[in-house]
């Protein structure tokens, strides 16, 4: 996981743990979000998460999570023959998954917006 | 794009260890997992100049990877099926520490012991109506007890035949509470996800 600390940021163990927890809480939403526009296979999901959301996750974390989201009916998966010489497992959102993603995104947006307002004086002071 | 030989020995060793660690999960799921991991290694190695070692390293230890698959699988089953066995298995993985998992399991099992006691009392009341009941010594609310073989000397039976529906309903209510509390615990753990820092 990348750290977003700046040189003047006092990164205490407590802050590190807090950041990890924060990111963990967003993991499921991030995966549903990255699959919102199109179907993707595992490595594409990993790279898209890293490039678009700064969530550099290990493959060992994402694949089991994809399996669980599929078991819960939020994702659908299909094997597609690829030019690479081997088939790839593509994931796409199911109707339930799209509904869950939309609900979670709305909640996230409302929460972030409210917290942003609350924290604006703190950020301005810096 | 570089195509990786499908029978590379390093890949096969990793896959064999992963397969062994996944033993116990449904065969179809294991086959699907192994196929996907094999595909991931091939894709990643091809994009990194055929560096198979690095691709395998990116997955971590196969035993740890299998543990994560098992945990996510059990958690999904506990949430979706709601069966007692699935919830118990899910609780085994829902908690950061062994003590936390053990405590949650003890609470759940204790809840079920009470459920069985209540249902057992309802059934026994039908078979031995005079010996099974909710007993209380007048003036001493602390003496309230659900007992077979009659109450303590001077105890008076409360509810009578109403014990049968009351114990049955209370048992169902407690089961509902225990299942929902356990599922909430599992969901709470699941929301925290699994994410290593690197």
In 3D, which of A63, A21, A75 has the Cα closest to residue B40?
A: A63
In 3D space, the residue among B58, B197, B37, B190 whose CA is nearest the CA of residue A28 turns out to be B190
HEC secondary structure over chain B? CCCCCCCCHHHHHHHHHHHHHCECECHHHHHHHHHHHHHHHHHHHHHCCCCHHHHHHCCCCHHHHHHHHHHHHHHHHHHHHCCHHHHHHHHCCCCCCHHHHHHHHHHHHHHHHHHHHHHHHHHHHHHCCCCCEEEEECCEEEEEEEECCCCCCCCEEECHHHHHHHHHHHHHHHHHHHHHHHHHHHHHHHHHCCCCCC
Of residues A43, A65, A79, nearest to B44 (C-beta):
A43
Q: How far is B79 from chain A (nearest CA, A)?
A: 8
| Residue of chain A minimizing CA distance to B1 | A84
How high is the pLDDT of residue A5?
46
B-facing residues of A in 62-101 (CB < 8 A) are 63-65, 67-68, 71-73, 79, 83-89
How distant is the Cα of A126 from the closest Cα of chain B, in angstroms? Answer: 28
Which H helix or E strand runs over A67?
helix A59-71
CA distance B156 to B136: 5
Contacts of B76 in chain A (CB under 8 A): 67-68, 71-72
For chain A, the farthest-separated pair of C-alpha atoms sits apart, in whole angstroms, at 56
- Chain B: residues touching A (Cβ < 8 Å): 1, 3-4, 6, 29, 32-33, 35-40, 42-44, 46-47, 58-60, 64-65, 68-69, 71-73, 75-77, 79-80, 190-198
What is the torsional sign of CA A106, A22, A47, B39?
negative
Which three-class secondary structure state does DSSP give residue A34? helix
pLDDT of B128 reads 78
Q: Domains in chain A and their CATH numbers?
A: 18-125 (1.10.10.10)
Quote the CA–CA distance of A101 and B14 in Å, as a whole number. 34
CB contact under 8 A, A24 and B44: no
Yes or no: say if B71 and B60 are a contact pair by the CB < 8 Å rule: no
Backbone dihedral angles phi then psi of residue A4, each to the nearest 5 degrees: -105, 25
- Of A49-58, B44-53, B171-180, give the range with the top mean pLDDT: B171-180
Q: Which of B32, B46, B71 lies at the smallest CB-CB distance from A84?
A: B46
If one compares B182 and A83, the residue with the highest pLDDT of the two is B182
Q: Which pLDDT score, from 0 to 100, does residue A37 have? A: 94
The C-alpha R_g of chain B, in whole angstroms, comes to 26
CA dihedral B116, B122, B128, B133 (to 10 degrees): 100
pLDDT in tens, chain A (126 residues): 444 444 455 567 788 777 777 777 788 899 999 999 999 999 999 999 888 877 778 899 899 999 999 988 999 999 998 777 789 999 999 999 999 999 999 999 999 999 988 988 888 875
Q: What is the reported pLDDT for A38? A: 94
At A90 the three-state DSSP class reads strand
Whether residue B62 is predicted with pLDDT greater than 90 in this model: the reply is yes
Q: Which of B60, B75, B193 sits opposite A24 (nearest CB)?
A: B193
CB contacts of A60 in chain B (<8 Å) are 58-60, 64-65, 68, 196
Chain A residues touching residue B31 (CB < 8 angstroms):
none
Q: What is the DSSP letter of A88?
A: E
Distance from CA of B35 to the nearest CA of A (A): 9
What sign has the CA pseudo-torsion A39, A43, A45, A51?
negative
Whole-number Å distance between alpha carbons of B75 and B88: 10
Reported pTM: 0.70
What's A27's DSSP letter? Answer: H
- Mutating which of B2, B17, B48, B68 best tests the A interface, going by the most A Cβ atoms within 10 A? B68
* Residue pairs spanning A and B at CB distance below 8 A: 114
ipTM value of the model?
0.79
Torsion sign over Cα A100, A91, B189, B174: positive
């Amino acid at each position: 996981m990348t750290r977003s600390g700046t040189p003047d940021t006092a990164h205490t163990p407590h802050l590190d743990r807090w950041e990890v927890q924060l990111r963990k809480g967003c993991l499921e939403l991030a995966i549903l979000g990255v699959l919102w526009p199109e179907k993707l296979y595992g490595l594409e999901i990993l790279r898209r998460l890293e490039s678009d959301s700064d969530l550099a996750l290990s493959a060992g974390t994402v694949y089991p999570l994809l399996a669980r989201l599929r078991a819960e009916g939020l994702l659908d998966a299909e094997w597609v023959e690829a030019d690479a010489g081997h088939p790839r497992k593509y994931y796409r959102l199911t109707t339930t998954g799209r509904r869950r993603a939309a609900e979670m995104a709305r909640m996230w947006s409302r929460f972030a917006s409210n917290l942003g307002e609350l924290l604006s004086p703190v950020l301005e002071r810096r | 794009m570089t195509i990786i030989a499908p029978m590379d020995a390093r890949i096969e060793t990793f896959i064999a260890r992963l397969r062994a660690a996944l033993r116990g999960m449904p065969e179809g799921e294991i086959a699907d997992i192994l196929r996907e991991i094999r595909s991931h290694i091939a894709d990643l190695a091809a994009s990194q100049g055929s560096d198979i070692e690095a691709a395998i390293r990116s997955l971590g230890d196969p035993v740890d990877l299998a543990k994560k698959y098992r945990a996510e699988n059990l958690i999904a089953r506990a949430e979706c099926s709601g069966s007692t066995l699935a919830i118990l298995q899910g609780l085994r993985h829902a908690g950061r520490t062994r003590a936390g998992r053990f405590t949650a399991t003890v609470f759940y099992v204790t809840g079920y012991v009470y459920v069985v006691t209540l249902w057992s009392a309802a059934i026994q009341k039908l078979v031995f109506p005079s010996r099974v009941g909710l007993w209380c010594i007048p003036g001493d609310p602390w003496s309230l007890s659900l007992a077979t073989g009659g109450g303590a000397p001077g105890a008076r039976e409360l509810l009578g035949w109403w014990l049968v529906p009351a114990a049955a309903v209370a048992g169902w209510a407690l089961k509902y509470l225990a299942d929902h509390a356990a599922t909430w615990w599992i969901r709470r753990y699941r929301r925290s996800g699994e994410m290593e820092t690197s």
